Structures are given as C-alpha cells and as structure tokens.
Structure 1
C-alpha cells in the first residue's frame, strides 16, 4: 500500500516540479562528498553535486557564452541523458518553428443545409483545428493565463489553482456569432468534426482536435465547519455531467484526503474524503472521456444561451454521420480565432503542459499534410536539420518527455537555445521559459531561502522523472534536469543545460531538496557568469 500511495504522489512529478516554502528551506544548504571532479566548477557547486543522494548518479553540464561561443563548463556534453520535461525545449521549438510564433488557430462553424430566414434546415458543424484552449484561458489583453501549479496536476501535486477565465468562453463567442449571422433555429443537429488528426498510443495524454478546459472537469472543495459537509463547486457545467460530493469537514489540522471516482463514461463524478477546516480550497479534476460529445453538448447549450434553438437532443454521441466529405459550397457562420502560438508555447513551457506539448506533434503532422500524429516527429527532424543540429543527438517518442526512450544530450539542448538567439523570436522564446523565483514551475524555487542566487536572472525549463524503488523503499529519481539561459551581465547571455540521472532520496520532502539543488546550481552559475563580465 505504501508503494502505491507514493507512486500516486509521483505521477505528475515526472513533468512539473514545485514546492512550498517549507520543503524548499531544507534545500538552501549543501552537504556531502563523492564523485564529481573539478571541471572548473566552484566548491559550492561541487559540494551540491557530491551529496550522498548522488552517490550512484551521473551529472551532465554544458554552459556556453552565447556571444563568443566559449565553453564555460562541460561535463559529458555528448552523452545521452533522460530529459524529463526539458524534452519540451525540443518539441515546442519544433512546433514553434513549423507554425510560426504568430500563427493563430481559426476554428470555423459551417452551416450544412439550406437557410430560410432565421431557420437553418440542416446542421451546424464545428470543424476542430487543434486549438489548445478555445478561449478558456484568454485574458482581455489577448494573452493566455496560467498559474504556477496548473489545474492539470491537481490530482497529484498540492497547491494547484484555477485561472479565472470561463472555460467555455470560446464556445460562447461562437454561439454569439451564429446568432449574429441571423440564425435563431437549427432544424437538425450540431456536430464536432474531429477529422483533423488521429493520435497514437505513445502520446499520453492523448491530444484531440477539440480541447475544452484541457478535457477536464474541475472540482473545487472548500471546508466549512468541523462535522459538516464541505462545499463543492465545479466547472465547466455541461450536461449530462453530474457531480456529487460526500466530503466532510474535519477539525483544523486534520487530514485533507480527497478521492475522485467517475463512471466509465466519465459523466457521473463523486468526490469523497475529508478536508481540514483550516485547509485552503482544494482542487481535483476528472477526465472527460469523450471530448467530442462533450463539446457538442457544450456548444448546443451555448447556442441556447445566445438565443439559438436546436431541435436535436442536446446530449448523446457526436453525430459524425452528418459531416460532409468537404465543406465546399457550405456557409461559414462563425469562427473562433485563437491567441498567437507564442502564447500557447509560453503556457506549455511555463507550467509544463503535457497535453499541449503532445498536441504539437499532431500539429506538425497536419502541417506536413498528414492526419496521423506519428508523422509529426518529422517536424522535429526538419527543425533540427534546418537549425544545423544533428538529429541523432535527440531520441523522442512523445512531445512531453515522459516516454522511456526519450533522451537528449546537453550539447543539443544548448544548440537549440543558441539557435533561438539568432532569430527575431529570441526574446519571446526566452521569456516563455519559467523564471527562477518569479513564475511558472520555478516560481517557488527561492521560497524560504535567506538568499536566492539567480533570482529573476535564470530562464529555464525544469524536468523530472521519478518513481518508487521497492527494493530500498525510497524514491528513485531517474532524471532531474534544467536547461535555459543565464543573465551574464551587460546584456550577455549564457546557454546552459544541467542534468543528473540516477539519484535517490528517502521521500517526497527530501525529493524537493534534489529539485532545488539544480535550481541553486543554476543560480550560482548565473552569479559566476555575471561576475566574469
């Protein structure tokens, strides 16, 4: 039971790492002794690398002055390392290069049938285009919103929170456009056209052409008074989804333990367990099993709110049979236009958004004229070759960095980072990365430490692969990685990639010490880089 409980707690740690001030405080100091020899590294960095947790581990590091090309530090730069979510530097770079940072996704709604005044004798078809958020995170200024711990990790990491935007905003806008086009009655059905691409088994989570709220139902539990039922709010509220809570509030300081169960089709959801009276509102999520049926119902409900009635029942399977072979000769009556792709890349990199990273593989396949997501890996190969980078320095079978075959070298990550510096997108790409001690999955890196080397001066993507070691009853950290840019003073930047494979630690609390070891090393490297100039 203990191993299963720990394993559950680690499922999302493999992609995004955050910590509370309490867990980070113990990572502020250093201790140890062992294998890493002096590679021009300072004693404080060597002391971290030689801690007992890394006794059997392998470190890799490559730091390069991006202006001069001078190699500052180098440890096994050509050796493969398990990347964890730093693989997203490869997949997001490739998608960005393929689509362009200013690419927008236009999701049309086509009228199928004949019009007679305000009546459509036929059906509406929303033609899904792989828009990651469909307006569900778009702020009034057109940027995409995020929080340090994304709701997609709510079942696995403490502290996940929601952005305030309405997950159904895009569908509401589409419905308003249909009404503005003069349609008030649809004597037929509403269908989602999901034919843009077909995913494949290695992409987990699996992308879908239509994505609403990351294909999740958000479940927010708030404590009341001890002995009383807790309050539950949930979103997006779409038929036939129903949510029930049996959560009880327990005394302050008690156990908060929430469990989500769902029917096989995902439409009947129960939240059970306990929440302490002094706990913060606690978020959990449940997966939408059929995004197309969900999206169809959500659009029919949005149309009703906009004053458009549909004769077909609002719930039920997605009626793909009404979709035509082609939309030639049909009328476009609405279209939702997304923010630019740079904003989606920012979301993916800042919070380590796994679905978005995998979606990029499918979008590259579509850009190449294929409907099979597996063909999208050719987009990575093409990007690397165009950038003058040897593709054999990368092994990937997904976009997120969670597949057992995934490997990168410190050298290739530095080459990708250097590539962006020679493009007009240099600043946008760098600022899309988490910033040490400021935002994204590095927001809490400095919490609780008396000093924070590199705060606000390190832009980097972290990555983790971890699991339970049943032999030794401890955590095996297959990979802890960090790659990005260091501010080196006078407008100069250093690229760096730092990795350790094969560490181990006793529990979740000490695991965060390892996470922050890399954050601290990056901060020290930044201070030393700045001192050089």
Structure 2
C-alpha cells in the first residue's frame, strides 16, 4: 500500500469508499456507557485501540424476528455514514423501479428509408442504463471485482472485469444492420433529455453511460530500465493515450500519475512501475459522455457494416433530436439486466456513480427531469415503509456530501423493512459477504478462524481526509451495516459506526475498516452462540 503524501489528499477507496468530509463527530467522545453495551472483551479491546481515543461509537443490533434489541449504543444519534448511505438511496430506487426492472435504450430512425439507406439520422434515446452491456456476463448477471476500476487512481489493487465495455453499443449497431440499414446519410445523436444532474451529485450521473464514463489505463511491467507496456479501453476517437512510465527494479516504487487535456481526449501517464508489480490500473474521466457515446456508436456501426455520412467526432448534434418520436421507427434497442443486478453492483463495490444515479432515476419515476426531485420520492418511500426520514440527512446518493448523516436506527429499520418483502433474500445477498466478496472479500485474509466468515452480509463506508495539523489521516467515519446469521434460520440486523478516529496512513484506514468488520464477525458469533435469542 502507498503511504499518504505529505500534501493534503482525500482517499476514495473501494475497500474504503472515501468522501471528503470534515472529520467531525456528534455527541460525547470515546466509548461512553449506554444501554445494552456489554459487548464482550474482544470487541471492547478493539474499540479501545490507539486511534479511537476521541472517537464516538454507535451501534444497534436487533433480532429481526422479534424486534428485541440485542445491543444499543447511541442508536438515535447522527453519524457520518460514508457509503452506508447507499443502503438508503439504492433502496429508494429499487422500490421505485422494482427489482426486475430492465432499462430499454432504443435507437430511433428519424427520416425516410430509401432501400438500405436512411435519409436522416439515428438517435439513441438514453435511459440511464448504468452499464449499457459493459459488465453483462453470459448468464445475464453484472460482473464486478473486489476493488472496482472506478477507484483505480486512489487504491492499489483495482482490476477490470473481463467484459467489453462497448458490448452494448456493438449489439445496438448489429441490430441497426439487421434492420436493413447500411447507410445513414444524416447524423447520429444522443438524446440526453431524460434528466439533468446537479453539482452535489459527484460523480455526476448522465443519461448515457459507457464504461462508467472513464477510460481504463493498464500499465504492465517489462524489464528494468525499459518502457512499461500500456493497454487502454475503450478505444474511441478522438481519445489518445501516451505513456512515459518506466519499469524499475523489483521492489522499487510503483508510482503512476495520470494527466489529461482540458477536454479529456489527450491522456498521459508518467512514473514508474516495479518489475515484480502486478499490472497497475489508472483511469481518466470522459468529459463529454454524450459525445463519447455518439462516436463509440458510429465506430460500432462501422464494425457492423453501416456507414454514417457525418464526421464521427465532435459535439453531440442535439439539433437533430426531434421533439417527439411519433412516426419514427425503432431500429434497435439494448435491454439491460434487472435493476437488482445493478443494485448488487452498487452495494458490492460501493459504486458511487450508480448510487448517485439512483437519485436521478427516482426523479424520472415521478415524471421529473431534475435529479433533485428524486429526494421527495425517497422521502415517500421511507414514510411508506414506516421509517422516519428525519433520522437521515442526504444531499447525494453515494454518502459523500458533508450534509449526509444517519442514525443507527434508520439503517436498522431499513434493513428490517427489506426482510418483510419478496426481495428479502435478493437484497441481503446483494450486500458484500464477509470474507467472500465485494468490499469484504479480503478482511479474512491470513485469518483461518476469521469470525463471521460467510455469515455477515453488510455494506461498508468510510470518510477520510488528510489532517494537515497532525500530519495524519482523519477518519471522519467508518461504518458497516447489514445482517448477521444468528443461527437456526434467524437474522439480526445491525449497524455499527465510528466517527472521529485517526491513523498515521492509508494502511491504518484499511485497518479501521477491518476492525469494524471484525466486530461485525464477533457480533455474529455471539448471536449464533445464543441460538439467535
């Protein structure tokens, strides 16, 4: 792991899911006495480790079948949630859309057909599909890795899924060709009128998303002293990538930086990679997703045998997008996996773009084109579920805004709500599984008797930033919430949070996350030992 630079830096991690928020806490410092806080010596020892001297802990564990409170520590106090806020935002979208909802992204032929030629333009009507086929496995599931590529610039170990990020566009292009069109005499455009984001949604959702709106840049070591090997995807004009990264001796530094032109189309990598290092991934953002998607589709059409008269690069030509599609012909459509698969992706890897997109999708279900109108939909969902929405504060979907707060109770009540629905198992299994997958895949590494392995399903979150005064990492929050296998077919819901911890470096941030995961595992063992009682 890289140590934190002396300059101020915010860590956004897949294993951490970091957001730049002031490392503040609410309430008294330290592990203050509270009802039902007899957690046992192992958990108490973790909570009293160095780095937690000024921290505030919160906990609520409830027997889901009986409602009995097992452990309770400041359950009604606000805590910075980090990415456990995604439990709320994605729940709202799941409820509004339905777990089996599929996004259908159509392509309309605007103009007259003359034999195999279209005297007009093709328009992709963007529908807010998070992956557009770029992660869809042969069985229809959505692929993910323990550390997602969207975190590659911040956390070592990010990897790529095997799928082609342009797969959905290739399928669309093939359908256009199968419709009988071989020539488009006009243009290709993206209709992005579905919704408009707002600044607090960062990363900003867009109606058309290809490869999470990033370019993947993979550097592989060669021989010491030689140029490293570079591969990148998706390769779409006019994007160009160059690299001056050199391979250094085994054990040497792997330190790769990425820079780009203002429009994002000229990308440069520099630095070093150790000869014994694993391939190292970086990403660069796509500045204009609509223009990028348009060009990517024109190139896909060419591969499918369809020519387009208009230049392939340049701005998205919104002028050819009609006011209405009445009288136009649908010549292609990409149909996504079910939304529950997207929710699983968001939960397993803490997908920030997908969580923010959930806010926009809720707005669309209410007939709005303004993403901020998703929050009233979320409010209605919570109230309908019997949950007091004033127990949470949100200004985004990912849990990265300084406004964001939750109580342990609101998270516990939400987790309980899902267990009373037909999607109970699907929602629970969409969470990372301790020691098995997602953000919790590695927490049992090197621990043969890891408590709770395979028996804790939980979303995690971290908020951390550089403390310039003390030259260390301030961990505003580390959180985990989900379900414990209490034995005999019973489940406990739990939510655990610590605000205001500190640590010397990024390795310590990861250790804090491991501490919370270990506490969760110990709580699971305690619950199972009691037979769920």
Category of TM-score, reference length = shorter chain:
over 0.9
In 1, distance between residues paired with 2:113 and 2:302?
19
- Give how far 1:14 is off: 9.2
> How far is 1:505 from its partner?
1.4
- On the 8 A contact 2:15/2:440 being kept in 1, the answer is no
Partner of 1:279: 277
Q: What's the secondary structure of 2:72's corresponding residue?
A: strand
Contact 1:15–1:402 under 8 Å retained in 2: no
Contact 2:8 2:468 in 1 (8 A): no
Query: For 2:461, which of 460, 463, 471 is the aligned residue?
Result: 463
Deviations 1:82-116 (A, max 9, x none): 00000000001110000000000000000000001
Q: Which residue of 1 aligns with 2:107?
A: 109
TM-score, normalising length: structure 2 = 0.95
Question: Counterpart of 1:337?
Answer: 335
Give per-residue Cα distances to partners, 1:342-373, cap 9 Å, x unaligned: 00000000000000000000000011000000
In 1, distance between residues paired with 2:148 and 2:218?
14
Residue deviations 1:7-48 (CA, integer Å, cap 9, x gap): 44613479528xxxxxxxxxxxxxxxx744472211111111
Report the counterpart of residue 254 of structure 2 in structure 1.
256
Separation in structure 2 between the aligned mates of residue 523 and residue 460 of structure 1, nearest angstrom: 11
Q: Structure 1 CA distance, aligned partners of 2:419 and 2:207?
A: 32
- Aligned pair partner of 1:124 in 99, 122, 130: 122
Contact 1:227 1:250 (8 Å CA) reproduced: yes
Please point out which of 140, 143, 146 is paired with 1:145: 143
Identify the match of residue 421 of structure 1 among 419, 422, 426: 419
CA RMSD between the two structures: 1.4
Distance 1:299 1:409, change over 3 A: same
Corresponding residue for 1:31?
A: none
Distance 2:76 2:10 in 1: 33
Change (3 A) 1:531 1:152: same
In 2, Cα distance between equivalents of 1:120 and 1:41: 70
Matches within 5 A, 1:55-454: 55-454=53-452
Measured in 2, the distance between the counterparts of 1:15 and 1:257 equals 20
- Which 10-residue stretch deviates more, 447-456 or 192-201? 447-456
Q: Retained in 2: the 8 A contact 1:85–1:352?
A: yes
Change (3 A) 1:491 1:437: same
Q: CA deviation at 1:167?
A: 0.2
Shift of 1:469: 1.1
TM-score (norm 1): 0.95
Answer whether contact 1:119 1:183 (CA < 8 A) is retained.
yes
2:201 alignment partner, SS class: coil
Contact 2:6 2:471 in 1 (8 A): no
Distance 2:282 2:377 in 1: 35
**2:27 matched residue in structure 1:** none
Distance in 2 (alpha carbons) for counterparts of 1:367 and 1:451: 46
Offset, 1:157: 0.2
Look up the SS of the partner of 2:102 in the other structure.
coil
Checking the alignment, whether the CA contact within 8 Å between 1:465 and 1:480 is kept in structure 2 is yes
The whole-number CA distance in structure 2 between the counterparts of 1:14 and 1:336 is 32
The residue number in structure 2 matching 1:521 is: 519
1:149-199, Cα deviation, whole Å (9 max, x unpaired): 000000000000000000000000000000000000000000001000000
Change (3 A) 1:159 1:5: farther
Counterpart for residue 11 of structure 2: 10
Following the alignment from structure 1 to structure 2, what is the Cα–Cα distance between the partners of residues 501 and 507?
A: 17
Greater CA deviation, 46-55 or 234-243? 46-55
Task: Give the C-alpha shift of residue 513 in structure 1.
Answer: 1.9
SS in structure 2 at match of 1:221: strand
Q: What do residues 216-241 of structure 1 show as CA deviations (whole Å, max 9, x unaligned)?
A: 00000001001111100000000100
Structure 1 outlier segments of 4+, above 3 Å: 2-9, 11-15, 34-38
> CA–CA distance in 1 between the matches of 2:7 and 2:305?
50
CA contact (8 A) 2:80 2:476 kept: yes
> In the alignment, is the contact (CA less than 8 A) between 1:14 and 1:85 conserved in 2?
no
Distance 1:5 1:126, change over 3 A: farther
Question: Does the CA contact (< 8 Å) of 1:14 and 1:465 recur in 2?
Answer: no
Change (3 A) 1:510 1:3: closer
Q: How many residues align?
A: 517
Partner of 1:28: none
Deviation of 1:485 after TM superposition, in Å, equals 0.1
What 5-or-longer segments of structure 1 have no aligned partner? 18-33
